[in-house]
């Protein structure tokens, strides 16, 4: 019985990712490429009362991960940690602090 349970668990751990391998170019849950996908961060600019400061997202994030929506997560954080921030701008949008 123990050998049967062991074999079933091992088959699931290998079978599920193998079934997703090559299914799509995007990172998929339970696939080998789940965390291997990478994309660059948009360029963020923080506007303060004294002017604009270009921000490197790499200074605030450890690494780019496909499943994290940086555009929704980083602007509120930038507003909280950068003194006097009024607006955070990026390529396709803006966030008012």
> Tens digit of pLDDT for each residue in 4-40?
999 999 999 988 877 777 665 555 566 555 555 556 6
**Residue 51 pLDDT grade (very low, low, confident, very high; cuts 50, 70, 90):** confident
> What's the predicted TM-score (pTM) here?
0.56
pLDDT score, position 65: 65
- Do 66 and 27 form a contact (C-beta atoms < 8 A)? yes
Query: Domain of 12?
Result: 1-37
* pLDDT band with cut points at 50, 70 and 90 for residue 96: very high
Same-domain check for residues 31 and 53: no
Count of domains for the chain:
2
**In the structure, what pLDDT confidence band is assigned to residue 3 with cuts at 50, 70 and 90?**
very high
- Long-range CB pairs of 68-75 (<8 Å, 24+ gap) are 70/41, 70/42, 71/42, 74/44, 75/44
For residue 85, the surrounding DSSP H or E stretch is strand 85-90
| Nearest Cα residue to 26 out of 10, 13, 38, 8 | 38
One domain, residues 20 and 48: no
């Amino acid at each position: 019985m123990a050998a049967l349970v062991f074999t079933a668990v091992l088959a699931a751990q290998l079978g599920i990712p193998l079934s997703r391998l090559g299914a799509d170019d995007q990172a998929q849950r339970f696939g080998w490429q789940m965390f291997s996908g990478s994309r660059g961060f948009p360029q963020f600019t923080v506007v303060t009362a004294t002017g604009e400061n270009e921000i490197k997202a790499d200074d605030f994030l450890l690494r780019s991960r496909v499943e994290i929506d940086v555009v929704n997560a980083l602007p509120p954080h930038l507003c909280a940690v950068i003194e006097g921030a009024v607006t955070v701008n990026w390529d396709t949008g803006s966030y008012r602090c």
